[in-house]
Structure 1
């Protein structure tokens, strides 16, 4: 901890901006992980198989109750929208499913891109700190007296190296988490697209059969 405090202090004022980016990035990452993994996520294949069996048994009410049991999950919300129109025409079923899909889509992808954006900002702030650190180092060589030159030069180089290191230290974990969270969001969105179409076809066939 003492070594990090010294590392942080030697990086100068730019370290505060990078630290702010780290806090924002961590906050968004944790919020998205909780929201997507614990709320919106569901085993799509298993869930739809249960729904399919209930629909084929003409037990729509029980299928809706199954959706209500997982009402936070994106797929369950879309499936429920279609099931509530199960006794309507094909056009009504398709419209309900499409509307629900359009509603959950932005919620799935919300703030996911922000994680990589903050990671890139942290990297750029580190590079900007490097530039100003090198400027300070060159100025020290040119303007500072000989007895203080080594100290001033070391200070400028410390700012340059430490800000770059801290920027990368923040950016790399955020980019790794962005890959994980964006893949999770894509998996949820793909399941919504796949099983909403399957449900639409299933309910349409049920309507045609009377």
Structure 2
């Protein structure tokens, strides 16, 4: 394997660096995008119980926001629970953009690697072909070994670029689809909490209105 890498020339080394980065991102995102880490089961039900019981204090909000992306989103709604519904909704949208940005961390880089890895392979292919033609110009076609070296360098670089680009593209699309699914579910949970917060605010406002009536 090492001999193949060495035969590919200097253009193989950037491809190897890209492959190492893709592997690191794949492992990191697989860990970070676990359902348990993004949307802990039962979290929305627990927040609903807090709202219905009226037990919401800064300690609850701090622990909720630090627990998971979904917790951060729901905590933003609870922090603005005394504001009008439209303002709470705007707070949810602002926080949602930050949450999605965190979930999509490194995905743009993964897509970039999927794009440039074949180009690096193509660059190595061109360099290998140039070497071969320079050999033919200098020594004629009487030395097939040198010609084979140039062709081998070209083929190794092409194969290396594709071997890196294909998994990078698949991982990029797979993680993107997974995040899109999480976003839809978090929107549903946030809408549920928004309705509960609005209903709780309406219940708190009714006694004050009745007390102020003549």
TM-score by length of 1: 0.82
Deviation at 1:118, TM superposition (A): 0.8
In structure 2, do the counterparts of structure 1 residues 188 and 67 end up closer, same or farther at CA, with 3 Å as the change threshold? Answer: farther
> Residue 132 of structure 1 corresponds to which residue in structure 2?
127
> Residue 172 of structure 2 corresponds to which residue in structure 1?
178
> Residue 96 of structure 1 corresponds to which residue in structure 2?
91
Deviation at 1:8, TM superposition (A): 0.5
Say what the alpha-carbon RMSD is for the aligned residues. Answer: 2.8
Deviation at 1:20, TM superposition (A): 1.6
Deviation at 1:163, TM superposition (A): 0.6
Q: 1:10 aligns with which of 7, 31, 35?
A: 7
Question: Structure 1: how far apart are the matches of 2:111 and 2:85?
Answer: 41
Question: Structure 2: how far apart are the matches of 1:6 and 1:69?
Answer: 53
Question: Structure 2: how far apart are the matches of 1:67 and 1:179?
Answer: 33
**Paired residues of 2:64 and 2:75 also in contact (CA < 8 A):** no
Structure exhibiting the larger radius of gyration computed from Cα positions: 2
Number of residue pairs aligned between Structure 1 and Structure 2: 204
Question: Structure 2: how far apart are the matches of 1:30 and 1:132?
Answer: 33
> Residue 35 of structure 1 corresponds to which residue in structure 2?
32
Map 1:34-113 to 2 at 5 A: 34-37=31-34, 40-43=37-40, 46-55=42-51, 57-61=52-56, 65=60, 68=63, 71-113=66-108
- Other structure's SS at 1:61 match: coil
Deviation at 1:67, TM superposition (A): 7.5
TM-score by length of 2: 0.80
Structure 2, unmatched stretches of 5+, are 205-214
Structure 1, unmatched stretches of 5+, are none
> Residue 162 of structure 2 corresponds to which residue in structure 1?
168
> Residue 201 of structure 2 corresponds to which residue in structure 1?
207
Between 4-13 and 27-36, report the one with greater CA deviation: 27-36
Question: Structure 1: how far apart are the matches of 2:156 and 2:37?
Answer: 39
Deviation at 1:38, TM superposition (A): 7.3
Question: Structure 2: how far apart are the matches of 1:161 and 1:26?
Answer: 23
